[in-house]
Amino acid sequence: MSPDRFAALWRSLLPIGRAGRDGGYVRHSWAAADLECREWFAEEALDRNLTVDTDGNGNLFAWWGDPTAADAVVTGSHLDSVPHGGAYDGPLGVVSGLLAIDELRERGVTPRRPIGLVVFTEEEGARFGVACLGSRLLTGAMDPARARKLTDRDGVSLAEAMARADADPDRLGPDPARLGRIGAFVELHIEQGRALVDLDAPVGVASAIWPHGRWRMDFTGEANHAGTTRMTDRRDPMVTFAAAVLAANEEARRQDAHATVGRVEATPNATNAIASTVAAWLDARAADEATLESLVDAVRRRADERAAHDGTGFALTPESESPTVEFDTALRDRIAARLGQAPVLPTGAGHDAGVLAAHVPTAMLFVRNPTGVSHAPAEYASDADCALGVNALADTLEELAC
């Protein structure tokens, strides 16, 4: 696969959902840009004579071979983005999947097993708050009744958003028959760090995903006038919030883990008023589950102590938690060997592959990202590396399916 071939297909997707001057993407599931991405995918799949179908959760599938046959080798990723995210997180795996199928056809190989390409819905959880929602629903890790009631920031429920896009929310839920036909799953993804840069390698294979989760932090106090309320009389949740953010940062550094507070909502959010409530979201990740638990416990304890000192209230509520995922070692080693001993590395980011791994032998390929930036417009991979990624994915599919 030449870099130019990669670039041509890549550029056809780039205009969809590009938002504003920063070059970032806003592709939230079931919203206009996401629907346009889905159409783009269906057209590209049909152009390749693939059979396109959608499961009840809005996950799109395209098949080379019989979609109803067992032991399929499936690749894919997602097309939704975080707000003002980069172009590569998700779409690189989808575009590479289409091109890997082209590459295999040009090699003249005939798959023994059906090859599937999937686009999972709401991987980022950017609209409805639960990451990997589409794959969690497919595998039964998420209750469909709870999913239907999830709301976005405008109060629109998933059920409403699906209905507006002519999708039937009553079809949400596990699909064990479909899942059972998947014999192996491989997700290609942009690397979200600089390990491959340091190793001077364009493509790597994943070993494991760190355990991670999201917790909602609610700080409650008393709204009052910024000018007339004496400092000693205040019950200011913003102060408790600030202390909690610092505590999370300090604990993460101390325990060699990651903690981030990247989203906050203050009420009434006025310059001259003490806030009545602050809601913030803690994203925490660590190399093992014990460390993650200890990190979150420490943040909870220190925020509780600070709330007692400030006369405010504090509550920590888990929104989603994902255990450690160790990818299938036999599959990983087979792929790494086929790719000429590609480097094997862990990741702190969650993926649909992590959800699938509990049910199906699963592997991931990473493509080098020279900036190391992800979830932001600076996320990048060169056309040359992306073309090498397509070849690596084609080699992997050939190894498994032919």
Q: At closest approach, how far in Å is the CB of 80 from Zn ion?
A: 9
Nearer to Zn ion, 65 or 125 (CB): 125
The C-alpha angle with vertex 33 and arms to 5 and 357, in degrees rounded to 5, equals 70
Select from 81-89, 226-234, 328-336, 363-371 the region that touches Zn ion (CB under 5 A). Answer: 81-89
Q: At closest approach, how far in Å is the CB of 105 from Zn ion?
A: 27
Dist CA 99 CA 121 (whole Å):
21
Residue 352's beta-bridge partner residues? Answer: none
Q: Going by DSSP bridges, is the β-strand pair 258-267/325-326 parallel, antiparallel, or unpaired?
A: unpaired
The tokens of 372 are what?
Answer: 């190391």
The site that binds Zn ion (CB under 5 A) totals a number of residues, namely 2
Rounded to the nearest angstrom, the gap between the alpha carbon of residue 186 and the centroid of all alpha carbons in its chain is 15
What 3-state class would DSSP assign to 95?
Answer: helix
Nearer to Zn ion, 119 or 387 (CB): 119
Q: At closest approach, how far in Å is the CB of 381 from Zn ion?
A: 13
Nearer to Zn ion, 56 or 91 (CB): 91
Select from 88-96, 101-109, 153-161, 391-399 the region that touches Zn ion (CB under 5 A). Answer: 88-96
Residue 77 CB-half CA count within 13 A: 26
- Cβ atoms of 192 and 347 within 8 Å: the answer is yes
Maximum Cα–Cα distance across the chain: 79
Question: Any contact of residue 90 with Zn ion (CB under 5 A)?
Answer: yes
Nearer to Zn ion, 65 or 90 (CB): 90
Residue 193: DSSP 8-state: S
Q: At closest approach, how far in Å is the CB of 86 from Zn ion?
A: 10
Dist CA 159 CA 163 (whole Å):
6
Select from 85-93, 149-157, 270-278, 327-335 the region that touches Zn ion (CB under 5 A). Answer: 85-93
What 3-state class would DSSP assign to 209?
Answer: strand
Nearer to Zn ion, 90 or 389 (CB): 90
Q: At closest approach, how far in Å is the CB of 2 from Zn ion?
A: 25
Select from 38-46, 87-95, 261-269, 292-300 the region that touches Zn ion (CB under 5 A). Answer: 87-95
Q: At closest approach, how far in Å is the CB of 221 from Zn ion?
A: 37
Question: Any contact of residue 379 with Zn ion (CB under 5 A)?
Answer: no
Q: At closest approach, how far in Å is the CB of 68 from Zn ion?
A: 29
What 3-state class would DSSP assign to 208?
Answer: strand
Q: To 10 degrees, the CA torsion angle through 261, 86, 93, 329?
A: -40
Q: At closest approach, how far in Å is the CB of 168 from Zn ion?
A: 26
Nearer to Zn ion, 274 or 325 (CB): 325
Select from 83-91, 197-205, 339-347, 370-378 the region that touches Zn ion (CB under 5 A). Answer: 83-91
Nearer to Zn ion, 90 or 134 (CB): 90
Nearer to Zn ion, 135 or 391 (CB): 135
Within 8 A by CB and 6+ apart from 375, the residues are 82, 85, 86, 89, 192
Select from 37-45, 89-97, 197-205, 240-248 the region that touches Zn ion (CB under 5 A). Answer: 89-97
Q: At closest approach, how far in Å is the CB of 192 from Zn ion?
A: 8
Calculate the alpha carbon distances from 257 to 239, 253, 263, 304 in Å: 24, 6, 19, 21
Region 5-34 residues binding Zn ion, contact defined as CB under 5 A:
none
Question: Any contact of residue 283 with Zn ion (CB under 5 A)?
Answer: no
Residue 167: DSSP 8-state: -
Nearer to Zn ion, 83 or 311 (CB): 83
Position among 55, 89, 103, 310 found at the interface with Zn ion (CB under 5 A): 89
Phi and psi at residue 280, to the nearest 5°: -140, 160
The C-alpha angle with vertex 194 and arms to 191 and 199, in degrees rounded to 5, equals 100
Q: At closest approach, how far in Å is the CB of 126 from Zn ion?
A: 11
Q: Is the peptide bond before 268 cis (omega within 30 degrees of 0)?
A: yes
Q: How many helices (H) and strands (E) does the chain have?
A: 13, 17
Footprint of Zn ion on this chain (CB under 5 A)? 89-90
